Structures are given as C-alpha cells and as structure tokens.
Amino acid sequence: MARISYESVDTLIYDPVASNRAATRSALLTLGFRRIETVASIDALNDHLQRRPPDLAICEVSGVQDPLCGTIQEVRQGLSAYNPFLVVIVTAWGNAGSLVGNVINSGADDLLLRPFSTATLEARIRTQVERRKGFVITSDYVGPDRRRSSHRAGPTELLQPPNSLKMKAKERVAEDVVAERLNRELKAAREILTTEKLRREAFQICVLWRLMQGGVPQAEAQYEVDLIRLAEVTRNLSRRARDTDFEEAVVWCDKVLGAIEGLQLGVDRNASMHLLGHAALNLMRLFSPEKSAEERLNELDATVAMIRSRQALAS
C-alpha cells in the first residue's frame, strides 16, 4: 500500500457543535493532518470556500440539510467557489428520510455516518485519494458518477476532477508545484464544466418550451412549474455565458426572459411562445453547432416524448 502523508493537506471542518468539531479534528490529527481549520456556521463555511478553498472539507449535515446541500451544489456548479472539485465528505448522525438522497444529489463525494472510528474516517479519505470517482455533468447535477455500472450506456462522458488532496497526500508534490498544477488543471476543467453546462442548459430550455406548448396555463399546474424552472435555467445560463466565447447567448437569454414575462402577464400568448421557441432553438444551435437542425430537432422530440410518457404513467 502506497505511503500517504496528510501533513500538507489543507482541511476544513464545518460543524455547528463544538464537541463534534473537536472530535473530528482529533481524529484528523491522529491520521497526521496538521493544517486544519474549523468553522461553526454555514456563512463561515461559504466565506472560507470562496476565500481559501481547502483540499478536503468535512461537513456535518444534521440540522442544516437544505443550506448545506445547497452550498455544495453551488460549489459543484462553479457558481460560488474557486475550486468546484474539492473533496467534500458529509457527516451525519442518521440517514432517515430524504437525507441520503439530498446529500448524493448535492454532489458530495461521500456520506459518513456518526459515530465513526478514526480507521473508518481514514479509509473514506484514502478512497478519495486513490479511487475518486469521475464526475458527471448534467443540467441539474455536477458530481461523482453514481451509476451502478460503469458500462451503462449513456451520452455523458466522465470528467476526471482535479484532486489537490491526492497531489499533496499521495504524490507528495511540493506546495508551489501543487499550486501551479492545480491552477492549470482547474482552468481546463472549469472550461469543460462551463461549456457542458451551457450546452445542457440550452437543451433544457428547449425541452421546457416544447413541454409548455401544449399546456393550458389555467388548467395545468405543471405549466406554472415549467415556467418558473424555465426562468431559473435561463438566468443561470445567462450568468454563466458572460465573459466567455458565447456572449451571443446572453442576447438570446434576454429574449427568452422577455417571452416568459409576456406569458406571465398573459400578453398575446401565441406571440410570446413564438419568441420563446425562436430564442430557445437559437441557443441550442449556438451550443451544438456540430449537429444539423434536423438532428437537434430529432433529439429534442425524442426527449420530450420520453418525458411526456413518464408523466402519463405517473398520472
């Protein structure tokens, strides 16, 4: 087994309970960690992730499930931290209800149940050093590949996330070299993340437009849900596209948002839906230039048909 040293690993512990913070810190010290910082609030966690992102974050979810999972999602989406790919291990005192699903969907690397032994903690950290999962990028999720089989068919290629924890702990790279290498790998990985997110969000805008085409605002609750989601995705895409090679997307996003406002106000629904469709299709063209118009429409039709089929089975 390769020798691993955690002396130079920057680690952040978030836990609102002082005794739990101390217990986690003590376990890490036993494992050889020396550069450990602790925070007691979500605000302090967010501030630290923005100013000094660690190589490893160990975060307690009990009592703050929604805020913590939201923070991890924002980090993974590349919206709130310099390093979207830092290793995140979530701890919890139980796995009841929606907790496991929420943690998994947040993009965390692992969920560790308390009370845990020092040996168990070391094993989980070593896994992130030696066998960290590749990352999946979809319109709603960025994080470790959770599929049961790595051979399962699907269009999503895995991104191997930059791993400064591994660089320091296993490869024993000098600190200045780690910083230079991490910056280089982060730049390349963030470009992949941004481009893939833009492409998937543009496609989702088209899907939502097509789903809304047959909906009647006064009769379908799903129509209002789709309209709200459409505005959210469009704003995310617009924000992500700024200061990239896809500035044109911001213009088309503004047109989508204008059409949404028209639909919300009930001003000439046909004209608003036409504007929405025109802008949505141009966004998909912009981010899938390698495909013909027919190929893009066929992919869109197939996805919409699948969603409608699922909705029909659920009703």
For the chain (315 residues), the mean pLDDT of every run of 10, in chain order, is: 85 96 97 97 94 94 94 88 92 91 96 96 97 91 79 62 94 85 93 91 95 70 88 93 89 96 89 96 94 94 91 77
pTM metric for this prediction:
0.84
Task: Count the residues in the chain.
Answer: 315
d(CA 238, CA 253): 6
- Could you say which DSSP state residue 110 is in? E
Could you write out the DSSP letters of every residue in 125-165? HHHHHHSPPPEEE-SS-EEE---S-TT---SPPPB----HH
Give the strand pairing for 56-60 and 10-14: parallel
Per-residue pLDDT, 215: 63
Domain segments of the chain: what residues? Answer: 10-173, 195-314
pLDDT value for 150: 47
CB 17 within 8 A of CB 92: no
pLDDT of residue 154: 47
Q: For residue 86, what pLDDT is reported? A: 96
Contact 280, 256 (CB under 8 A): yes
Write the DSSP assignment of 23-63 as a string of letters: HHHHHHHHTT--EEEEE-SHHHHHHHHHHS--SEEEEE-TT
Q: Where are the beta strands (DSSP E) in the chain?
A: 10-14, 35-39, 56-60, 87-92, 110-113, 135-137, 142-144
What was the pLDDT predicted at 146?
83
The domain defined by 10-173 carries CATH number 3.40.50.2300: yes
